[in-house]
Amino acid sequence: MSGKVILRAKTLAAMAGVLVFTLAQAESPPVPLGAELLKPFKQQLMGALKAGLQEGPDQAIEACKVKAPEIAASLSLDGVEMGRTSHRLRNPDNAAPEWVKPVLHDYLDNEAEVHPVEVSAGEGRMGYVEPIRMQATPCLMCHGEVLAPAVAEKIAVLYPEDRATGFGDGDLRGVFWVSWPEG
């Protein structure tokens, strides 16, 4: 137990160290801890998507289904938890944690003006939420108004409750969220 706590503290300290180093170098505004924690999640998701797309949209859909939860789980260590969610879910397992719901609602109230926010995640935890917007390429291939028949079919088989099509370029698709123990 105490080993785990020390490890957690060390991880956070190491991340803070990276943060300070980055700051000293760039002299830009501070990068929030949440943004640092989400960086590998975003990179690895995009890597899995791109690798899948090289094999074709079918494989990419499979890759997203298998890899996305694996990546989130592999980075959710030492008290850190992260994930993706949306107001229009593809996978119901990606439902928003309670503390993320009000932020998502705020975002939807004024979609044009959304910014990352740091909020309390309850139970002694801090949280950070970042908007995800649709990009024409490659997102709309699997989330847009018109899908290739093979893509639509594959999604219908794997995600019978899918609500994540019909988006346009630049639309708010959902959010990345991360939470970690306070202090």
Indicate the SS3 state at residue 96: coil
Q: Min. distance of Cβ 137 from ligand HEC in angstroms?
A: 8
14/150 with CB nearer ligand HEC: 150
Q: Min. distance of Cβ 120 from ligand HEC in angstroms?
A: 23
Question: Which of 114, 95, 96, 106 shows the shortest CA–CA distance to 171?
Answer: 114
Distance, CA of 183 to CA of 174 (rounded, Å): 28
Contacts of 81 (CB under 8 A, 6+ apart): 97, 178, 179, 180
HSE (CB half, 13 Å, CA atoms) of 102?
10
> For the chain, how many residues are written?
183
Q: Min. distance of Cβ 48 from ligand HEC in angstroms?
A: 10
86/179 with CB nearer ligand HEC: 86
12/89 with CB nearer ligand HEC: 89
Q: Min. distance of Cβ 124 from ligand HEC in angstroms?
A: 27
Instruction: Look up residue 22 and give its amino acid.
Output: T
113/161 with CB nearer ligand HEC: 161
DSSP letter at 161 equals T
84/126 with CB nearer ligand HEC: 84
Q: Do you find a cis peptide bond into 102, omega within 30 degrees of 0? A: no
Q: Min. distance of Cβ 21 from ligand HEC in angstroms?
A: 29
Instruction: Look up residue 41 and give its amino acid.
Output: F
- List of residues contacting ligand HEC (CB under 6 A): 49, 57, 60-61, 64-65, 68-69, 84-86, 89-91, 94, 132, 134-135, 138-139, 141-143, 164, 173-174
